[in-house]
Amino acid sequence: MSHDNANGGGESTNNNGRRIDSVSRRDVLKAAGATALTAGMASNLIGSAAAVGIPTPRLERDGNELVDPSGNQVILRGVNIADPARTARSWRSKDAMGIFDKATNTDSSNDGGWHSHIIRVPTQPQDIADGGSGSVGSMPHGDDWGPLLPGQFDESDLETYFTNYVDPLVDAAEENGTYMMIDYHRHFPIFHQPQHEEDIGEYECGEESFENDLGFCGERGVLWHGEDQADQLDGYTEEYAAELNQELELYWNFVAPRYADREHVIYDIFNEPTGPYAGDWGSPTSLPNTGEEGSENPSYDADENQQYWDMWVDRAQPWVDIVEENAPASVKTIGSPRWSQLTYWAPTNEFDGTNICYTGHVYTHEGMRPLSDSFGTAAEEVPVFFSEFGWAIDGGRDGFNFLDGTATGEPEGYEVAYADDFESFLDEYPVHPICWNFDHTWEPSFFVHDESQDGNWVIHDYEDRPAQWWQEYLAANAENDLPGQSDDDTTTEPPTTTTTTSTPETDTPDTDTPETDTPDTDTPDSGDLVASIRPSTTSASTGDLVQFWITDETGNSTWITDLQWELGDGSTDSGWYADNRYSSSGSYTVTLTATNNEGTSSTTSVEVSIS
């Protein structure tokens, strides 16, 4: 949000200083799942780093759910990163690819491992213009927030930016089995700052709310209005509303077709339209709720906000149409007025289009509690990506009161346990949570700003930011709600067709051995699989990416030491993941030969039909 600038009952603490007052059934179940998952993966990792991906087939909307091609419900959980051009600055110590690698590396040496199944990539207009200028860090308006006005980049800027910063991430995500959300990340129309007066004319600025704050300035959140909605507005506002429309048309006509055939890519059409909404940002001249200047904002569910949701749908539908025309099969998300906090109204008047989903953003805003009402109500009827949330003790480095909070309601002065607040909501509703932010600068940041600029990112304390809690939550859910799973499965049943097993020959002495009781163990019997194949699909078209993962079938006393693939068209691969694009139609037999530490090998195969 802010950019650059296992214990028993009773009270106890662990070595992170985390205080747990009680343990719920949900806590017990998740702790058991996380323990089993960690035990399995610790013995399965090959090499010093690992990204245990998931199948990433094209998803589609079914009511309030996203489902895979077999109709199984899928829930995506992951993290936001910072704008990839912004991370190119040398002082940040990790570029976007380095951050992506860390955010998807499940090795326990990586802060315990990160099991992110979706990465949200904010692409900011200011950074698109900046990256396209060839001088990263220049900022078109000479300040760290710019360009504050629309229309500051062109198609050549987009080509430079996406070629250098986004394409590599999209490719990497496809290779290791991670969904990727590309986010048009504009907050508009706030942050018009005084140094731009010559450009934007007269405006009103808010009072300072934190050190070095230049004020939230502008025409109170109305600049995305069209001409037919601008009868209250003066002067430049209509001009900049038109320029914003042109910017969005340019952006989505460029981006939507670029990744339309990439099944793992999701489009976030507009991050946070800030206004208008019922309240003191309602319009430049009057407040729709009372008509009096400066009164408090009505609740998100106040009837006055219905008209602003409807106005937003009318205004943004043409942008949705552009994405729909260029990428009709892709999953699409879109925000709502009041910084994407009016998600409540989405079921009452939906956007036209296929696979349309809605986003919700919230931090420690008291007025948005309980989350079951403000976002859960909508999630019972439409798909919701809960794509920004978190907290920061003392409001983070910028001191924002809407971020202020802690994990457990400690230390003194805090009351709300935001980790449990968010987790209870996420466990109850089928939303797709993407926590903010896997960075050391954008708040709430997962890593400590002053200690993470040498390449060795230091994770924040459990209490101070959501990082450690979210890492635990991702691990506990790493094998839940995946593509290819039925509702009652925890692992995907592989569609194998052939299996053989070989065990190395040994000389067995001819002796009489007394009968003894054999203890039960998890060691597989002779003839069991070492590993099986988990394909993303068994039917595809020529040129499509077909992905293959493995399911570890070993017990606790053995582990995989080698994995060799034959992909049916003469190509081979090795390791825990393989993929292929078949150039000719036909039936291909994909074979996996897996070997464990005792020298036992098994071979399994699956047929893939290409048309």
- Backbone dihedral angles phi then psi of residue 65, each to the nearest 5 degrees: -120, 160
If pLDDT is split at 50, 70 and 90, which confidence band does 149 have? Answer: low
- The closest alpha carbon to 73, from 430, 381, 495, belongs to 430
CA distance 252 to 267: 9
pLDDT in tens, 352-390: 999 999 999 999 999 999 999 999 999 999 999 999 999
What is the secondary structure of 437-449 as a DSSP string? -SSSSSBSPSB-G
Rounded to two decimals, what is the model's pTM?
0.71
Buried b (16+ CB within 10 A) or exposed e, 175-193: ebbbbbbbbbbbbbbbbbb
For residue 552, what are the CA distances in angstroms to 477, 497, 523, 597? 18, 17, 13, 13
Residues 6+ apart with CB under 8 A from 397: 2, 5, 443, 449
Question: CA torsion angle for 406, 409, 414, 418 (degrees, to 10)?
Answer: 50
What's the gap between Cα 206 and its chain centre? Answer: 32
- Residue 335 confidence (pLDDT): 96
**Average pLDDT over the chain, rounded to whole?**
77
The secondary element (H helix, E strand) that includes residue 316 is helix 306-326
Residue 242: partners with Cβ closer than 8 Å, 6 or more residues away: 227
Give the C-alpha separation, 184 to 491, whole Å.
34
The number of C-alpha atoms within 13 Å of 500 and in the hemisphere containing its C-beta is: 4
What's the whole-number mean pLDDT along residues 528-538? 87
Which is more confident, 52 or 184?
A: 184
Secondary structure in 3-state letters for 182-216: EEECCEECCCCCHHHHHHHCCCEECCCCCCCCCCC
Residue 554 has pLDDT above 60, yes or no: yes
Tokens of 78: 């992951």
Cβ neighbours of 485 (radius 10 Å): 21
On the question of pLDDT at 194 being above 70, the answer is: no
Bridge partners (DSSP) of residue 606 are: 590
Instruction: Evaluate if residue 444 carries a pLDDT over 90.
Output: yes
Q: What's the CA angle centered on 230, arms 229 and 231, to 5 degrees? A: 105
Is 318 a residue whose pLDDT tops 70? yes
The secondary structure of 265-300, three-state, reads EEEECCCEECCCCCCCCCCCCCCCCCCCCCCCCCCC
Where are the strands (E) in 312-381, listed by range?
A: 332-334, 356-362
**Two tokens, residue 182:** 């590309």
Instruction: Please check whether residue 239 is in contact with residue 201, taking contact to mean a CB–CB distance below 8 angstroms.
Output: no
Query: For residue 132, what pLDDT is reported?
Result: 53
Asked if 210 and 399 count as a contact pair (C-beta separation under 8 A), the reply is: yes
How many CB atoms are located within 10 Å of the residue 154 CB? Answer: 13
- Measured from the Cβ of residue 198, the count of other Cβ atoms closer than 10 Å reads 6
Range name among 292-306, 368-382, 558-572 with the lowest pLDDT average: 292-306
Among 481, 504, 549, 488, smallest CA distance to 44 is for 549
Categorize the per-residue pLDDT at 77 as very low, low, confident or very high, splitting at 50, 70 and 90: very high
CA–CA distance, 582 with 579 (Å, rounded to integer): 10
Q: Who wins on pLDDT, 488 or 17? A: 488
Q: Indicate the SS3 state at residue 60.
A: strand
pLDDT of residue 15 exceeding 60: no
Tell me the two tokens of residue 476.
Answer: 């506990």
Report how far residue 3's alpha carbon sits from residue 395's, in angstroms, rounded to the nearest whole number: 13
pLDDT band of residue 222 (cuts 50, 70, 90) is very low
CB–CB of 422/414 below 8 Å? no
Q: Report the pLDDT value the prediction gives residue 432, as an integer from 0 to 100.
A: 98
With contact defined as beta carbons under 8 Å apart, do 542 and 536 qualify?
no
Residue type, 383: P
pLDDT of residue 590 exceeding 90, the answer is yes
The answer for 218, left when phi > 0, alpha when psi is -120 to 50, beta otherwise, is left
CB 304 within 8 A of CB 278: yes
Please give the Cα distance from 605 to 548 (Å, whole number). 11
- Find the mean pLDDT for residues 39-67: 68
Distance, in Å, from the CA atom of 301 to the CA atom of 158, rounded to the nearest integer, reads 38
User: At a CB cut-off of 8 Å and minimum separation 6, what does 344 contact?
Assistant: 300, 301, 373, 374, 375, 377, 378
Amino acid at 230: A
Check whether domain 498-610 has CATH 1.10.3720.10, yes or no:
no
Asked if 135 and 150 touch (Cβ cutoff 8 Å), the reply is: no
Query: Tell me, what DSSP letter sits at residue 26?
Result: H
Q: What is the pLDDT of residue 51?
A: 62
Q: What residues does 61 pair with on adjacent strands?
A: 66
